Chains A and B, each alone.
Chain A
Amino acid sequence: MLMNLLVNGVMVGSLYGLIAMGFILIYKSTGIFNLAQGEMVMVGGFFFWWALTKLGLPSVLAVFMAMGLSALLGMAIERLTMRPLIGEPLLAVVMMTIAVSMILRGLSLITFSPEVKACPSIFPEDYIGFGNVSFAPYLLIGFIFSVLTLVAFTLFFNYTRIGLKMRCVSDNQLGARSIGIPLSRIMIVTWVISGLTAGLGALVFVSGTGSISVDLADLGMIAFAVGLLAGLESLPGALVGGVIVGVGENIAGFYIDPLVEGGMREVFPFLVMMTILMIRPYGLFGLKEIERV
């Protein structure tokens, strides 16, 4: 049983990590704490559901459509709300992401109504089992996607020109601009990639769990917890943090929930995060900031 919980936890956790990566990406390259990440995931999920059920597209096309629309969403958010605030204090920018999350949530409620909707699975549905360990195929696919995304991000940041430029911007926005890095282009690339990541995570979740509602946005909260747990600078850390949260959540859900009449599973990521923040404020893999006057 424990083994089963561990394996499933690792896989769910890697999906959390995938969503957290989209969020860390924005933080890393622009310093913005994107509180609308959960809503971006939710809207990505709705795009997928809409393409699959309302438009009746074949699953491959629906995947591409959802990813494309998610990327467009990221682009739109950057263009309409982040661009006018370049040079404003970060607090204002974070407030803007709050406004974005309110608008996205409200609009999705109006467009797609609040009830839970069923979504057909595009992945095989039979559980995969080895001995007494069994898991849903979508989790395995999610795990593979997460690892691939992490590899892609690592290569991107270390070996491509634009990735290097993004690191410059995150290190020192003013300095990067003064050596001629176009900040607006960097920001748009960041948000598009983040939108893609959100869309990918969303479609795995939606298709895997077979249902979608506005509550999907709560995944964003878990992703924040994962991000902080890992330290906001580290992409591989996101995966590790996700796995810690996923495994911990499963174990807490199985062993502690019966003792305390439930609810432990939902609150566990936040308890872990609070503990980590108190002991190691910069997260497990974050950089400790040293300030000089």
Chain B
Amino acid sequence: MDLSVPCGKFHTRYRQDKAVIRSRSQWGLLIGFLVFMLVLPMFVNNAWLSVVNKIGIWVVAIMGLNILTGYCGLISMGQFAFMGIGAYTCGILAASAHMPFWLTIPCAGLVAGLVGIIFGLPAVRIKGFYLVMATISAHYIFNFAILHLPRELAGRETGLSVPAASLGGFVFNSEPRMFYFILFFAVLAVFLGKNIIRTKTGRAFVAIRDNDLAAQSIGVNLFGYKLIAFFICSAFAGVAGAVWAYYVRYIGIEQFQLWYSVWLIGMLIVGGMGSIVGGIFGVIFLKFFEEMVTVAGPLLDRLFPEMGGGIVFSAVNVMFGLVIMLFLIFEPKGLAHRWELFKAYYRLFPYKY
């Protein structure tokens, strides 16, 4: 008598094996999640929606960073500079050339990507942490460049106001409307991120990360793929910046400081490098953390009156630093690893393994 029971999903075709979404319950969860996101603005107020919107924009940015740092093993601390380049490209095109958003956003991605390649050039010949500095210097050079663009074009230190995005007669000018706008790009970014990793290019990235010499000796073109990784990373940042520009509709260089790039790296550590879902977890986790500190801001202000409002930024820095530190020591693989463990536990439930 045959007592064996099926203990997994058995695919009979390659198509099934290669699919991103493999089972019916995964389809159900995905559709359920998207429906939940679509109806979300009906249930939450604008304050919370703005948190969700910011998370959406950071998710777009972190997808790019994850491909570069998590999958290709190159570290970039200039993600917000590239976001700034995207935002300003988009802002200038929208404000001065009156281009619609479906043109400006791809342009922003393209320009940011090309600039990213320039800062990625040192990566081609060296590895390790030289790259950190090259990308940090992107911030300084970005600041310099924006402050020296013509005033009527980029606004310099006064900032640049960006007209609201509109499609047909529909203007994206309120928090719930922007929510759908951002949701579209966040979903697109996750979809692209997930799929770039599954292509030949993505596998080349992983090969470079795991052992660049071995990768080179089996015929992976390091030069090309490292630059492609930089292009993709910065292009995602550029798109995120453009969406940000349409969201806040008033951009200035102080929105694209080095600290945010550092936070983004921190989010990647907390979430888990080299995992698409990890990036999302990281952003959500630390953004809600930041939100909690911001909510506690008035209390902190009373405790430290001499800070005059700067306390939130400092407290967020200390908290983020501590969280990153604890994660590095106790859970270096990040939340994504916990999530995998949980999934395995759930799948096998009454049994241990």
Chain A residues within 8 Å of B, Cβ to Cβ: 33, 35, 81, 84-85, 88, 90-92, 94-96, 98-103, 105-107, 109-110, 113-114, 221, 224-225, 228, 232, 260-261, 263-264, 266-267, 270-271, 273-274, 277-278, 281-282, 291, 293
Contacts and interface: CB of A to CB of B under 8 A. Distances in A.
B310 interface: yes
B328 A109 contact: no
B314 A106 contact: yes
Contact of A110 (B121, B141, B311): B311
A114 B319 CA distance: 18
A96 B318 contact: no
Contacts of A291: 213
Given A114-B307, A260-B148, A92 B328 contact: yes
Contacts of B265: 95, 98
A105 to B, nearest CB: 6
B27 interface: no
Contact of A98 (B213, B314, B324): B324
Nearest to B118: A274
B132 A94 contact: yes
Contacts of B128: 33, 90
B128 to A, nearest CB: 8
Given A33-B129, A102-B266, A278-B122, A273 B137 contact: yes
A90 B128 CA distance: 9
Contacts of A84: 329
Nearest to A96: B328
Contact of A103 (B130, B133, B317, B329): B317
Contacts of B320: 99, 102
A106 B318 contact: yes
B322 interface: yes
Nearest to B319: A106
Contacts of B121: 277-278
Give the size category of B's interface with A: 35 or more
Contacts of B306: 113
A91 B75 contact: yes
Contact of B317 (A94, A109, A270): A109
Contacts of B332: 88, 92
B89 interface: no
A223 to B, nearest CB: 10
Contact of B325 (A103, A260, A281): A103
Interface of B: 73, 75, 119, 121-122, 125-126, 128-130, 132-134, 136-137, 140-141, 143-144, 147-148, 213-214, 217, 262, 265-266, 269, 304, 306-308, 310-311, 313-322, 324-325, 328-329, 332
13 contacts: A81-B325, A90-B129, A94-B75, A95-B269, A95-B328, A96-B328, A110-B307, A110-B318, A261-B148, A274-B137, A281-B122, A281-B125, A282-B126
A293 B212 CA distance: 11
Q: Is the interface of A mostly helix, strand, loop or mixed?
A: helix
Contacts of A260: 148
Contact of B321 (A91, A102, A228, A273): A102
B148 to A, nearest CB: 6
Contacts of A224: 133, 136
Contacts of B119: 274
Contacts of A293: 213-214, 217
A97 to B, nearest CB: 10
Given A84-B329, A98-B324, A109-B307, A270 B140 contact: yes
Contacts of B319: 106
Contacts of B130: 228, 232, 277, 281
B172 to A, nearest CB: 34
A263 B147 contact: yes
A156 B321 CA distance: 34
Nearest to B129: A33
A106 B321 contact: yes
B129 A94 contact: yes
B318 A107 contact: yes
A260 B145 CA distance: 11
A95 B306 CA distance: 31
Contacts of B134: 273-274, 277
A261 B6 CA distance: 73
A94 B217 CA distance: 28
A266 B321 contact: no
Contacts of A114: 307-308, 310
Given A91-B75, A105-B317, A281-B122, A267 B329 contact: no
A111 B15 CA distance: 60
B328 A103 contact: no
A102 B317 CA distance: 5
B132 A106 contact: no
